Amino acid sequence: MRADWEHAHTDHTMPAHRRSPASLAESESDWRRHLECSTPNGWLIRDNAMTAALVSGQPMYLLHVTRDIDAIRTSRQLHVSTGCLVGALYCSPLARQREGLRPHNLGAYLMTTKRDTKPLIFEVTPDAPIRPKGVDYLHLGPIHLRTYLRYQSFLTPAENDRLDRAVPAGLRAAAGFLDVALRNAAGRVTPAAEFIDQLSGAVAHVPFLGYLYFEVLSEYLMLHSTARQTKAYAQAGELNNWLPKRLAHTAVDGMDQLFDLARFNPRHHRLIQLIEGIEPALAPGAAEYVRRRLSHLFARTALHASQDTASFTFQGADLSELQRDAPGLIGQMIFREIRCLPRYHQLYHSFEKAKALEAWDYWNHEGIPTPVNGVIPKGEIGINPAYPRSAVRVWTARQDSEGYLHPGEEIEAVLTPHLASWWAPSRRREARNSTAESRVESASISFQRSPQNGVSA
């Protein structure tokens, strides 16, 4: 069990160590060297302000925004959310300076765009320096699959039948592109425009591809940008989160209401328009970067390490065989299908808390009170609610005219290992369009949806 979680975590300060399928044209280490050494902002992968704060062993200051401060005061509890941090209180770093606590640019974005929320300041005093190990939600597929197989009996026969039909149907519809991606990961070169258009069409059948697509473009923008704002954030040790946020919100209508990357599927022409609107100099290289990087990441996240990227095919594959040979992809697909079931609000705690309990156990054994999003260190950090060896305090925050935060009222509330109540409505498979969403929050929670905490995070 812990081996699965070790595989799903990345420490960007250490050499890459994950086992990967055979025949990859470029290894994880090759890509790590390229990203760190051949991009303008690659040095921030290893040497950033958040990592420095973690390894210092000093108290960390984190920003969390909530919609219901009164419920927290009344209940004296804070519950945590699922999503890219599995089961942690979603936060962003605060830098302690003489003038006050300066929000990371991710936090500044949240406070600017979520005006109906109240900022809170958390002080986390760790028991030791924290290894900057982050959970990479793109690698959680095998864990999703194992959880489904363990709790499959919780589903009705009709729900199991739906999964048995939906997953193979999605694979059949997208198999051609999935094989193209594997061949590209093994060294074949498909014209970038053709690849992007095929990818765009496949997202409707395999929504996980929308997440890969967005994360690859986020990485491209943040690491390659030379804009003045990006340079200013880099001097503070931060990657520029505003770039991918602009990309997502421009690409998908209503993304500000429902951040669901299953809807992120721009075709080639539209992709170039989007990048030109953000930073024109980056547009010419975007499609080719997506072709190479997404193909590599798809092979690594979809296939078991025992498989051969160059010869594996999704054409005509049996689902039971794919659970063995491509557990990462099948787990991601089943996970997202379950979250579209009409009865998911009843199943949520069964499936999600099972994974959260495992994550908390792993973090506790690894000495991680503040897990981070390990896809890339862009400032997404959480608080582990089950960590027994750190002290946590929380205050309301007031912001001064210069943008610095200062502690206000100390809140007598504790983090509890309990998931915030939340549910997502079913999505029509035929259209793959999100319907109107409702979200139920218990009276005792502080819940902030992360950028990956939408319907399909």
* Vertex 165 angle, CA 162 and 168, to 5°: 140
Give the model confidence (pLDDT) of 404-446 as tens digits: 999 999 999 999 999 987 644 444 443 443 332 232 222 233 3
pTM score: 0.92
**Mean pLDDT for the chain?**
91
> Distances in Å between the alpha carbon of 416 and those of 63, 126, 288, 447?
18, 17, 45, 13
Query: Could you count the other beta carbons within 10 Å of the beta carbon of residue 168?
Result: 15
Residues 382, 452 contacting (CB under 8 angstroms): no
Give the model confidence (pLDDT) of 160-219 as tens digits: 999 999 999 999 999 999 999 999 999 999 999 999 999 999 999 999 999 999 999 999
| pLDDT-based confidence at residue 319 (cuts at 50, 70, 90) | very high
SS3 label, residue 95:
strand
> How many whole angstroms separate alpha carbon 77 and alpha carbon 100?
27
> How many whole angstroms separate alpha carbon 61 and alpha carbon 101?
8
Q: State the DSSP H helix or E strand holding residue 63, giving kind and residue range, or none if neither.
A: strand 60-66
Q: State phi, psi for 417 to the nearest 5 degrees.
A: -75, 65
Give the model confidence (pLDDT) of 29-66 as tens digits: 999 999 999 999 999 999 999 999 999 999 999 999 99
End-to-end distance of the chain based on CA atoms, in angstroms?
22
* Vertex 37 angle, CA 33 and 41, to 5°: 120
> How many whole angstroms separate alpha carbon 339 and alpha carbon 331?
12
Give the model confidence (pLDDT) of 141-171 as tens digits: 999 999 999 999 999 999 999 999 999 999 9
* Vertex 81 angle, CA 353 and 444, to 5°: 95
Q: State the DSSP H helix or E strand holding residue 389, giving kind and residue range, or none if neither.
A: none
* The token pair that represents 255 in the structure block: 């993304």
Residues 442, 66 contacting (CB under 8 angstroms): no
> How many whole angstroms separate alpha carbon 10 and alpha carbon 375?
8
pLDDT the model gives residue 209: 98
Helix axes 141-150, 344-366, angle to 10 degrees: 120
